[in-house]
């Protein structure tokens, strides 16, 4: 499984933990990204996104918190793999 596959799987877990489907989480984050480009005020962007999707701001915040934690886990794992590869000693002849 590639690191990208792990990110995708972890984001699905994050969506489930927040009570959303992965598709809904993607739609919400796409909308939030769009709103943030229009409204530099994060609170207003969150509120606008919540209104558009008919969910509470706290639900979006919860989903983002879980997603951030899941992505952080994958990033740590990838970093560990890179570190191991870099520090691996070549076989002696």
Residue 72 pLDDT:
74
Asked whether 4 and 10 are in contact (CB, 8 A), the reply is: no
Residue 39 pLDDT:
81
Residue 56 pLDDT:
92
Give the residue ranges of DSSP H helices in 1-93: 3-17, 22-38, 42-53, 57-87
Residue 49 pLDDT:
92
Residue 20 pLDDT:
86
| Chain centroid, CA 32 distance in Å | 13
- Evaluate if pTM is beyond 0.75: no
Which segments in the chain show pLDDT lower than 50? none
């Amino acid at each position: 499984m590639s690191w990208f596959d792990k990110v995708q799987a972890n984001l699905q877990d994050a969506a489930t933990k927040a009570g959303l489907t992965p598709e809904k989480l993607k739609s919400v984050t796409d909308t939030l990204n769009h709103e943030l480009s229009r409204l530099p005020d994060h609170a207003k962007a969150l509120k606008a996104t919540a209104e558009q999707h008919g969910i509470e701001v706290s639900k979006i915040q919860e989903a983002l918190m879980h997603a951030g934690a899941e992505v952080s886990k994958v990033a740590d794992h990838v970093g560990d793999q890179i570190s191991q590869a870099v520090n691996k000693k070549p076989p002696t002849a």
